[in-house]
Structure 1
């Protein structure tokens, strides 16, 4: 399910959830003060939509199937996120009793959820509305009805039009988290049925270790050929925001969680190091040891100011009389490699990112024994994330590949002029 596709009827989803908790259609109809036929129809609609039965009917009640139990687990998480978010927006999050009184499905619709998410997509509202066969005006009207229902302003009115305020941005983030649970629920069900609809969103940081990530992805897809893997490259804070908005499931690369990011968790997979690289035959490659003074005479290709790699490059020349001008800046690893190969330009890269080129002799590591920085690399996920079996399998592939790579580096290190 695309995050902007039609969200299932929230009331029907609640009926399915209550059946799972109480074990019967009649119990659910009494609990929700609705008719048994309405509850039965809600279950039938959902089962028709996902293509497999969620419940088994017998004389003693209605009980979830094996697939249904997993679906209901995701459905519980979906409503827990929604109910807590709405309670917080309405000022009813002070205690458990008040939160329990808030049921999101009684206050809003899936259409309103989708409308709010779309209208908060800066610069993309018209495009998304056209893809949905709707007008931006109708989406805006639907989002504003949600404001009235909740009794809270979700937008600030500006000369450029309405923009989400802090409350609106919070609600959109929580809506996306909730919708992702529905996506994963459907994906797990379809995967169990032998159909492919599950997608993994993996963020890849610069210098993450493209060789390891590619190897892990290949190994995973051999075992799960029907699962889609979406690899997204970007700078850390953009990927971290996408992770928080549930647009990514994990980030692979340097672990650098900010103190304020209390809702994410990190797992160390391996320890990496920096190395100085240049083209084969570079004048500096003939030296027994390269000093900062030697490197100051050459052009550098560097990443943006403030990135960990740029900070390490700047640190090389602290206290030195001469330093490079750093006039050549790019975040593109492909462009960096091309510049290295066609000139005497040099740069600093992580060994995991450049090991493939070093092994093939495309690039060479310059003898700089003082580069002793140890970089912790691994995966960053949301703290409350519940991975599907496919996500767990992908993580296992990453763990296995990085463990193998770490062993390979230990074997190769005597031939590399780098300090331990």
Structure 2
């Protein structure tokens, strides 16, 4: 679909003017070239976009959907041009026109995107189907038109410059719009098809997302889902760039949410978790004098702890909970954010942890782990979805979101029932 980018301006001109002849006059391009561009775009999408009539061309339902995406693409290109022009202090119209042409080059944008990720020109060239010489020449043309480098050659590879980062960020959004364009067309034809990328935070991975994804694929088997497991900051960067469609997990508040939309699905809480045979657990063989009794955080100070790394949201919550009772938080024996490591340590030792019971749902349900009867302070947090403000998700992505909301309903009801 990236090759279709070059046809977007011709398509929009015909869509807005209503005929190839009028589009030719408006953009000073041969009618035959415009007709060929529209035909290529229709071939790439596999559908006709116009009703061809003697007096002109009228958009059909597929064409309307494509025009919506095409306008978003041209808006991204215009924003990229303005940002790069200000940064590079470009004035001559010829320079701005040259950069605009480069931004409508899908293969060129993909080269920049892959190069920013791989930091190696040869590897990026292979990714986009170019020879190393061809990729080097394309990069030189782009840098020549801009009048400054898009990448710096450094010991750690090719590192994107400020100007290059602006183009890469907008380029990723453009690629996302092209990806969604095909999904929009498929939905009109009656099939939900497409690819959705979900940023999965820990509190969404164990139960909520698997349930929602399984339900979606049962109804719409042609949808493809990719999950990305990274720190929140990395996921937000991907969300802003269009690499990620939605983030699912604990919601964040504050200034860093500028440009993002958050939707709370349910409240979650921390619990103190240990193995079923732990001396403090409610267990027939428990011999500890406190076993089975309501515990305080002070009672747990002698225990050995597994906690998230400093700065992690869960770590801040448990530390605040201790301080709420005027108790200095414990120094953990193990600091980890890896759920597999956490599970293994809990099952094979008397270490305890503070974590959302939802993250260990299966182990608690099977009886391997238990939640200790401990009164905690304010450890409630909102779990939900985070979207980029202004994003227009594909029908496939919207179907997954609906499934996520449906899967969250029992969790919300269970929480409300406990309250």
With normalisation by structure 1, the TM-score equals 0.87
In structure 1, stretches of 5+ residues that fail to align are: 414-419
Describe the superposition over 1:301-348 as per-residue Cα deviations: whole angstroms up to 9, x where unpaired: 222211011122333444877764323122211221121111111111
Describe the superposition over 1:253-278 as per-residue Cα deviations: whole angstroms up to 9, x where unpaired: 11114413422211111111111111
- Residue 308 of structure 1 corresponds to 313
- Residue 149 of structure 1 corresponds to 145
> Alpha-carbon deviation of 1:24?
1.2
The CA distance in 1 between the partners of 2:410 and 2:397, in whole Å, is 20
- Residue 360 of structure 1 corresponds to 366
Which secondary structure state, in structure 1, belongs to the residue aligned with residue 86 of structure 2? coil
The CA distance in 1 between the partners of 2:169 and 2:124, in whole Å, is 18
Q: CA RMSD in A?
A: 2.6
Quick one: which of 32, 49, 56 aligns to 1:54?
Answer: 49
Cα pair distance change 1:287/1:152, threshold 3 Å: same
Instruction: Tell whether 2:19 aligns with 1:24.
Output: yes
How do residues 15-414 of structure 1 correspond to structure 2 at under 5 angstroms? 15-91=10-86, 105-106=100-101, 108=103, 109-123=105-119, 125-193=121-189, 198-208=194-204, 210-285=206-281, 286-318=291-323, 324-411=330-417, 413=418
In structure 2, stretches of 5+ residues that fail to align are: 282-290
The CA distance in 2 between the partners of 1:321 and 1:45, in whole Å, is 69
Q: Which moved more, 1:163-172 or 1:115-124?
A: 115-124
The CA distance in 2 between the partners of 1:292 and 1:227, in whole Å, is 46
The CA distance in 2 between the partners of 1:274 and 1:161, in whole Å, is 43
Describe the superposition over 1:1-55 as per-residue Cα deviations: whole angstroms up to 9, x where unpaired: 5xxxx53352x22101111111111111111111111111111111111111111
- Residue 417 of structure 1 corresponds to none
Describe the superposition over 1:125-148 as per-residue Cα deviations: whole angstroms up to 9, x where unpaired: 433422444344532331231122
With normalisation by structure 2, the TM-score equals 0.88
For this pair of structures, how many residues does the alignment match?
Answer: 403
The CA distance in 1 between the partners of 2:231 and 2:298, in whole Å, is 31
Runs of 4+ in 1 over 6 A off after TM superposition: 319-322
Describe the superposition over 1:349-393 as per-residue Cα deviations: whole angstroms up to 9, x where unpaired: 113323443333232111112243220111111111111222222
The CA distance in 2 between the partners of 1:401 and 1:159, in whole Å, is 48
Q: Which moved more, 1:186-195 or 1:361-370?
A: 186-195
2:321, 2:376 within 8 Å by CA — same for their partners in 1? no
1:77, 1:181 within 8 Å by CA — same for their partners in 2? yes
The CA distance in 2 between the partners of 1:64 and 1:164, in whole Å, is 40
